[in-house]
Structure 1
């Protein structure tokens, strides 16, 4: 069963100290056994390395002939299927174990990063409901000057395509730092009226 094989994979992954994994809670609900979490996606990256997601993507594809679904500067996403074989999982585990060992011993030399920011979720204060924000008067301001203001737009990067800012949320300095990180990592902002990503619609005071 795929869930059992993934549980074994995640258990083995805990020994790869140079890599991190997003561990889903694999469990079922109801009599039909429908998964609560989307356990078919394996999301992982390398600890403290610049553009590790891109590098892992290329390494898995070019050296090991394993094709990831997508990657971002911080992480890689692999898709698993019911038809995946034991041989396929063993190939993946061997590849990741080798990459981990090479990072650990220094034979694989990647640039370290001192950045504390990643594509992780930044909790924001919800000041008004999205519907209320949609009906409020708005003005456009430079993103760099938006701290303390209430967003009137949905903003996201792709991948993964999940919004990190929603209408009605108050913009924090921490969020602005993450936006700067996205830019320096070469990621584009989507969902804004300003296609350059430099200006943001906010609620007019």
Structure 2
């Protein structure tokens, strides 16, 4: 096989060679290079549908790569400082679940913060592992949960010496980072693996002054959303693996749930994006950090808003801060973050990443320019002038510590009944409830439904948050575990 270097893109190059060959297709997909679905060709373009192909010998196979996909994964591992890398076409959700399934089986304990993405709790529903939650500190002014304190992680390890892994989300959606190196050392000293949800940290691997990466910190596995800040197509991701994980076994785990019909559009986008970052990432992300700092200064100059940054760092619950994150606290102008989100989209044609009850996030990356940031700043100033009001009575809390009664798997598969939300107090939830984005559950299977949680859900619905998870699409009822005589 050819010796590839970072300037190469093996999958992309193989697709280009294939496209020039004008092969007659008697295989899937059935649109046959777009001829069978002209509207699809019109939407995506001939070049795109011509390379929407199935696995074949010249293009390798994601389930068992031996040529160009294998080369692309080796280049990704080298670029990210990992022992091995896996191209993922089921999003970072698939990567997170593969990490958990590779380390945990039924009854195993895994230590994790509760402010995690639903994907890891979904993995526990599948494998039957037991979560040991470390409840994060909360910034009371901002209403956001912070990172994992080393002291709390060490206590959880001492209390649960039989745990098999520690899971860390680093950075959080808001850019908050934990002391990853110390957490890895503590976990490894007790024989536990460290799994890192690095969905929002692709750029850490290509920055001079960014927080430490999972691989540099010695973590065993990390899931990286290349499509978020790395520039690849939506749904494409990487799973990075350290030297002490068996790559063949990890591949088997991935193949339990990942498609056997991998999209070459996604695969080639990962390949091209890795090359772009390896060659130009440091310069590009330095500009992103500079643009974010400019935006923070301009937004804070408006007054009323608070675009927070590395002043939050306390070397503990906020060990470091992602300088590219543009998170803005909005409550002091009397508007929830989700309300500012809606106004920006509906009246100013500006789409930001998400808004919650107290904050909004504008996601900056390699495709942003100063003129768009200036438009956002101008719109925020105008919104303050037009819509500012008294904030009395507004909720801000983004995290409510749960009371875990059953494992996610036990409660998800238990006999259940459906109740109106207002009548569900004291019962055990058997499904998820969350605002998406960011996809952090307000309720997860196995947790007790409290008055505070009910109030939060109703308030979030009232403010216009996009609620997902429950079987009831109107989110007026919740599935709860059926009570037995003498308790659940």
Give the alignment's TM-score, normalised by structure 1: 0.69
Greater helix share, structure number: 2
1:44 aligns with 2:324: no
Structure 2 residues without counterparts, runs of 5 or longer: 1-285, 314-319
**Is the Cα contact below 8 Å between 2:344 and 2:379 reproduced in 1?**
no
The whole-number CA distance in structure 1 between the counterparts of 2:370 and 2:355 is: 27
Q: Is the 8 A contact 2:430 2:446 kept in 1?
A: yes
Structure 1 distance, partners of 2:441, 2:372, is 33
Contact residue 21 and residue 43 of structure 1 kept, 8 A: yes
Report the Cα distance in structure 1 between the residues aligned to 2:321 and 2:470, rounded to whole angstroms. 30
Tell me the equivalent position of 2:425.
147
Change over 3 Å in CA distance of 1:198–1:128 after alignment to 2: same
Give per-residue Cα distances to partners, 1:67-122, cap 9 Å, x unaligned: 323554745442322243344444444554x33xx73xxx5245545433257232
> Do the aligned residues in 2 keep the contact of 1:117 with 1:177 (CA within 8 Å)?
no
Q: 2:341–2:352: 8 Å Cα contact kept in structure 1? A: no
Distance 1:95 1:188 in 2: 23
Is residue 54–residue 76 contact of structure 1 (8 Å, CA) maintained in 2? no
Query: Is residue 143–residue 199 contact of structure 1 (8 Å, CA) maintained in 2?
Result: yes
Residue 197 of structure 1, CA deviation: 1.8
- C-alpha spacing 1:13/1:109, structure 2 compared with 1 (3 Å): closer
Aligned twin of 1:127: 405
Residue aligning to 1:33: none
Helix, strand or coil: the match of 2:399? coil
- Aligned counterparts of 1:162 and 1:179: Cα–Cα separation in 2: 13
What does residue 68 of structure 1 align with?
Answer: 351
**Residue 158, structure 1, aligned to residue 441, structure 2:** no
SS across alignment from 2:398: coil
Deviation at 1:144, TM superposition (A): 0.7
CA distance change for structure 1 residues 55 and 21 in 2, over 3 Å: closer, same or farther?
A: same
Q: Relative contact order: is structure 1 or structure 2 higher (C-alpha 8 Å, sep ≥ 6)?
A: 1
Q: 2 CA distance for matches of 1:190 and 1:138?
A: 19
Q: Is the 8 A contact 1:52 1:73 kept in 2?
A: no
